[in-house]
A and B are shown apart, each in its own frame.
Chain A
Amino acid sequence: MSESAIITPPLSDDDIMKLKIGDRVLITGKILTGRDSAHKRLFDLIKEGKSLPVDVKGQIIYYVGPAPAKPGYVIGSAGPTTSYRMDPYAPLLMEHGLKGMIGKGVRSQPVRDAMKQFKAVYLAATGGAGALIAKNIKSARIVAYEDLGPEAIRELEVENFPVIVANDAYGGDLYQEGIKQYRR
């Protein structure tokens, strides 16, 4: 895949199989947000056999809890949060069609296995670059769990949101490869 290709959800299995670790990708279109509490609620609903308040099929979830928006802004600073806290919930969401996750930091083996099994990718955004990333977010609206405040599920419209493929559906892991390549 060429550098900085653009992807737009919903994503198909074919879209996913084109992505390899190290690819720089720009996301344009609609993505969902969710972190700890929202994940727990979605997970519990699936376990209880109930329907979800948002359709995750083909979608990308961004692990983020934004800062409050200043007047005239659609969102406050909005960089990724650490992903491992979502590891217990992620495989079940992938089983239900989730195709992408954006966050920061390494994922557990079960999450990596699920990406291979259900054809999904993990995309690393730059942690701490919250002011920069907010510039790529054109609109934000709460679609579920308003009571969770910064942790509510939002639908974001993004344009050229920069991410790097950190785990692909082939079992590749950029965290392991990267450190191997540069270790002295």
Chain B
Amino acid sequence: MRRDISHEKIKDTVARLCIDANYFLGNDMIQAFKSYIENEESDTGRDILKQLLRNAEIAEKEQVPLCQDCGFAVVFLEIGTGVCFEGNIIEAINDGVRKGYTEGYLRKSILSDPVKGKNTNDNTPAIIHTTFVPGDKIKITVAPKGGGSENMSEVKMMKPADGIEGVKDFVVDRVLRSSSNPCPPTVVGVGIGGTFEYVAFLAKKALLRNIGERNTDPFYADIERELLQRINNLGIGPMGLGGRTTSLDVFIETHPRHIASFPVAVNINCHVARHKTAII
């Protein structure tokens, strides 16, 4: 079972996902804004949530980006082992990012080198995470990530003795210290376990879930609920100006760990929680 997928197909799919992710907010987010407006006690907070609903309507209707920070193009690939490419898939993805960000009038925010660099002017290169799965298809998810919320993220090598209570306190404290900076209401991705670099990936991957989608393990699903409540008791509120709505959801992803290590990562996403998927 082998199936050919062309450079053009991958490029065009990635380009469309970059644009769609920036123009169209997920329905789960729209529904979340609506239900949180009901429970928001602050007038200012309610006003801001209404602005976010209106913003999503305008972006969709006029086909313009939700936010001027159109993000770093983070791409998740699940490649079926039966798939054959012509050429280089990394190049095809970057060609897609270039096309999407240029044709979609999206802001280009990537410097070619972190210290000496200039703007690459086409938002490349993408950050690409790849896994292999059985089958003859490719699943591509593009999750453009804004700088404001990314900057409030953190990895901590905790002690195994800190236990799950230590993890919870770290997550809540990270949100508290972020205050208004990540454009609350936020979505909070948490990684637990694995290694130093892998735990950050887990936290990022957690952000691909839709609002309300709980961890399949009831133990972690309960912790997600508990963390959301604790975070929304902080009082930070929409845009940090006070209120009940600080985060719309908390998602935990886990991995086996070394007996000596207990890595935890928090990756914060803003209310412009962008992720769009295609299977080709």
Q: A residues within 8 Å of B by Cβ? A: 22, 24, 64-70, 73, 76-79, 81-82, 84, 104-106, 124, 126-132, 134-135, 149-150, 162, 164, 166, 174-175, 177-184
Please tell me the number of chain B residues within 8 Å of chain A, measured between CB atoms: 45
Given A77-B64, A124-B241, A134-B64, A129–B106 Cβ distance below 8 Å?
no
B66 CB contacts on chain A under 8 angstroms? 77, 128, 130-131
Question: For the complex, is B210 an interface residue (Cβ under 8 Å from A)?
Answer: no
B183 touching A130 by the CB < 8 A rule? no
* Chain A residues with CB below 8 A from B119, complex form: 149
- A132/B107 in contact, CB under 8 A: no
Q: Which of B40-48, B195-203, B213-221 contacts A (4 or more CB under 8 A)?
A: B40-48
Q: Are B180 and A129 in contact (CB under 8 A)?
A: no
CB distance from A128 to the nearest CB of B (A): 5
Roughly how many angstroms separate A130 CA and B58 CA in the complex, as a whole number?
10
Establish whether residues B68 and A105, one from each chain, have CB atoms under 8 Å apart when the complex forms: no
Q: Taking the complex as formed, is B194 at the interface, i.e. its CB lies under 8 A from any CB of chain A?
A: no
Given A128-B271, A183-B235, 17 new contacts (CB under 8 A): A24-B47, A64-B68, A66-B107, A68-B107, A76-B68, A84-B181, A124-B180, A130-B68, A131-B55, A131-B58, A131-B64, A131-B67, A164-B44, A174-B241, A174-B242, A178-B44, A178-B241
Is A76's CB under 8 angstroms from B240's CB?
no
Chain B residues near A (Cβ < 8 Å):
41-42, 44, 47-48, 51-52, 54-55, 58-59, 62-70, 105-107, 119, 146, 148, 151, 179-181, 183, 233-237, 239-244, 270-272
Give 11 pairs: A residue, B residue, CB < 8 Å, sorted on A. Answer: A24-B44, A67-B65, A67-B70, A67-B105, A67-B106, A77-B67, A104-B180, A127-B270, A131-B62, A175-B179, A179-B235
A131 touches B235 (CB 8 A): no
Closest 3 CB pairs of A and B: A178-B242, A182-B235, A183-B235
When C-beta atoms are compared, the residue in chain B nearest to A73 turns out to be B64
**A180-B235 contact, Cβ under 8 Å, with A131-B55, A131-B59, A174-B242:** yes
Cβ contact within 8 Å between B64 and A179? no
> How many angstroms from the CA of A84 to the CA of B236 in the assembled complex?
17
B241 and A164: CB pair below 8 A?
yes
**Contact between chains at A22 and B48 (CB < 8 Å):** no
Complex interface: chain A residues within 8 A of B70 (CB): 67
Interface contact A182-B54, CB-CB below 8 Å: no
Q: Decide: A126 and B58 in contact? CB cutoff 8 A.
A: no
B68:A66 contact, CB within 8 angstroms: yes
- Contact yes or no, A150 B270, CB < 8 A: no
B58/A105 in contact, CB under 8 A: no
Take A134-B64, A164-B44 as given contacts and tell me if A182 and B242 are in contact as well, using a CB distance cutoff of 8 Å: yes
A129 near B65 with CB under 8 A, answer no
Q: Determine whether the beta carbon of B52 is less than 8 Å from that of A67.
A: no
Q: Would A79 and B237 be within 8 Å (CB), given that A131-B62, A132-B54 are in contact?
A: no
Contact (Cβ within 8 A) B180 A175: yes
Most buried by B among A78, A124, A130, A150: A130
CA–CA, A166 and B233, complex, Å: 21
Contact between chains at B241 and A175 (CB < 8 Å): yes
Q: Chain A residues near B67 (CB, 8 Å)?
A: 77, 79, 127-131
Nearest CB of A to B226, in Å: 14
Contact partner of A76 among B55, B105, B271, CB < 8 A?
B105
Known: A77-B67, A126-B51, A128-B52. A105 touches B242 (CB 8 A): no
The verdict on A130 contacting B241 (CB below 8 Å), with A22-B44, A77-B66 known, is: no
The answer, among A84, A130, A150, for a CB contact under 8 Å with B55, is: A130
